[in-house]
């Protein structure tokens, strides 16, 4: 089995090496390619990628202007040759033995089209933070249903993997979405096949001030609600609950800001 990991990046040299290390250090019964899609960085990322790709045949990269994160991910997925694919942003990390666990699930279960595992949130220095949010999502994910996903995005993006053939059937990321292209993809995938939920830590999401989601913005949650509306198919109850969940999340983040978390 071959696994392809796509990393979109733009001027993320500060974290790119640690992200790459968390990918390239993975060991197990699988082949690996790391595809980095650079949007035209000017911070030294490109020379670093050029040198790394010369030394490591598992690394491929491209560097050119793009139309944003979703466009970059779509480019990388189109380049991928693995049986299983995923994307890991340029400031996030995989846990030890993640890819071995993922390969084992897909090898042993031909009917599994995609899977999601556990995650933790870390700060700029790699310290675990926001543990209550992580525990909440873990509990919600353990009781996964399509209705639950419509009501709230309970799936942590860095901990998701899918068969490339399945992704090609589902289609590309929606480049019109700025924050919730992953949520739209999960809902499209879930309509075709439920995910296998893996009860183990797979990824670490880095929350910091310059990350896309680091600066809390209510618009991302409103965009998520509009995505849910696309897929609700008349399920008004789920939309009402989703809207209530938006208000709950917004107030929770406001409280965390007030107390400095």
Question: Which residue range(s) make up the domain with 178?
Answer: 2-213
Chain segment 156-201, per-residue pLDDT in tens: 999 999 999 999 999 999 999 999 999 999 999 999 999 999 999 9
Distance CA 166, CA 172 (A): 11
pTM of the model: 0.94
The neighbouring-strand residues paired with 9 are 38
Question: 57 by DSSP, 3-state: which?
Answer: coil
Residue in this structure with the two tokens 């198919």, named with its chain if needed: 233
Tell me how long the chain is. 261
Task: At 162, list the tokens.
Answer: 């899918």
Tell me whether residue 227 is in a domain: no
Tell me whether residue 228 is in a domain: no
Tell me whether residue 23 is in a domain: yes
CA angle, 256 then 260 then 261, to 5°? 55
Tell me whether residue 231 is in a domain: no
Tell me whether residue 100 is in a domain: yes
Tell me whether residue 236 is in a domain: no
- The per-residue pLDDT for 96 is 97
Burial of residue 153 (number of CB atoms within 10 Å: 0-12, 13-18, 19+): buried
The total of structural domains in the chain comes to 1
Within its chain, how far is the Cα of 162 from the centroid?
11
DSSP H or E segment with residue 62: strand 59-63
Distance CA 172, CA 155 (A): 18
Tell me whether residue 224 is in a domain: no
Chain segment 247-258, per-residue pLDDT in tens: 888 777 666 666
Tell me whether residue 256 is in a domain: no
Q: What is the mean pLDDT of the chain?
A: 94
The list of the chain residues with pLDDT below 50 reads: none
CA nearest to 149, candidates 157, 141, 158:
141
The CATH number that applies at residue 93 is: 3.90.550.10
- The per-residue pLDDT for 117 is 98
């Amino acid at each position: 089995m071959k696994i392809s990991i796509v990393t979109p990046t733009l001027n993320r040299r500060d974290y790119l090496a640690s992200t790459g290390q968390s990918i390239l250090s993975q060991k197990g019964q699988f082949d690996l390619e790391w595809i980095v899609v650079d949007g035209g960085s000017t911070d030294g990322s490109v020379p670093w990628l050029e040198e790394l790709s010369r030394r490591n045949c598992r690394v491929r990269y491209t560097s050119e202007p793009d139309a944003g994160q979703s466009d970059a991910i779509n480019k990388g997925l189109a380049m991928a040759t693995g049986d299983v694919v995923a994307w890991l942003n340029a400031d996030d990390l995989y846990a030890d033995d993640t890819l071995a666990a993922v390969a084992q699930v897909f090898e042993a279960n031909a009917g599994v089209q995609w899977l999601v595992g556990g995650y933790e949130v870390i700060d700029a220095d790699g310290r675990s933070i926001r543990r209550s949010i992580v525990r909440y999502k873990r509990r919600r994910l353990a009781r996964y249903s399509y209705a639950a996903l419509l009501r709230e995005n309970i799936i942590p993006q860095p901990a998701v993997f899918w068969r490339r053939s399945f992704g090609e059937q589902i289609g590309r990321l929606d480049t019109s979405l700025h924050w919730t292209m992953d949520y739209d993809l999960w809902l499209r995938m879930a309509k075709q096949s439920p995910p296998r939920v893996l009860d183990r830590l797979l990824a670490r999401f880095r929350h910091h001030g310059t990350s896309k989601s680091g600066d809390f913005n209510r618009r991302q949650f409103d965009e998520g609600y509009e995505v849910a509306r696309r897929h609700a198919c008349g399920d008004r109850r789920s939309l009402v609950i989703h809207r209530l969940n938006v208000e709950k999340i917004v107030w929770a983040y406001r409280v965390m800001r007030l107390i400095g978390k």
